[in-house]
Amino acid sequence: LAKTTQPISMDSYEGQEVNITCSHNNIATNDYITWYQQFPSQGPRFIIQGYKTKVTNEVASLFIPADRKSSTLSLPRVSLSDTAVYYCLVGEQTGGFKTIFGAGTRLFVKA
């Protein structure tokens, strides 16, 4: 499973756009990039998934450069309710892996 690196935490203000970048240098050809959101004491929730270029849904956008060694989750005009932990997940299951989710990025949105 490709290792991912994300910032531990980020702060933002309401109404701003937030970009969270994830590095995944060892991404394989068949790997997709998936982002999850987790609120305190709740299970993670799927946000978006992509393979290359750009993907957009009603919640976020995902930008993936041509080399696919990183990806950026973009949250437009965040609100207080976007305060959560965001996990970047990359890779095809090969069996025997230790963890699926890394430490994630703790986003704190201030008024």
Partner 1 sequence: DSGVTQTPKHLITATGQRVTLRCSPRSGDLSVYWYQQSLDQGLQFLIQYYNGEERAKGNILERFSAQQFPDLHSELNLSSLELGDSALYFCASSVATSVNNEQFFGPGTRLTVL
Residues 20, 88: Cα–Cα separation, whole Å: 9
Q: Which residue has the tokens 């995944």?
A: 24
Of 21, 49, 61, 74, which one interacts with partner 1 (CB under 8 A)? 49
The answer to whether residue 50 forms part of the interface with partner 1 (CB under 8 A) is: no
Q: How far is CA 80 from CA 53, 54, 76, 77, 83, in A?
A: 29, 26, 13, 10, 6
Choose between 14 and 92: whose C-beta lies nearer to partner 1: 92
What DSSP state is assigned to residue 75? E
Residues 76-95: x/- map of binding to partner 1 (CB under 8 A)? Answer: -----------x-x-xxx-x
Residues that bind partner 1 (CB under 8 A): 1, 31-32, 34, 36, 38, 41-46, 49, 87, 89, 91-93, 95-104
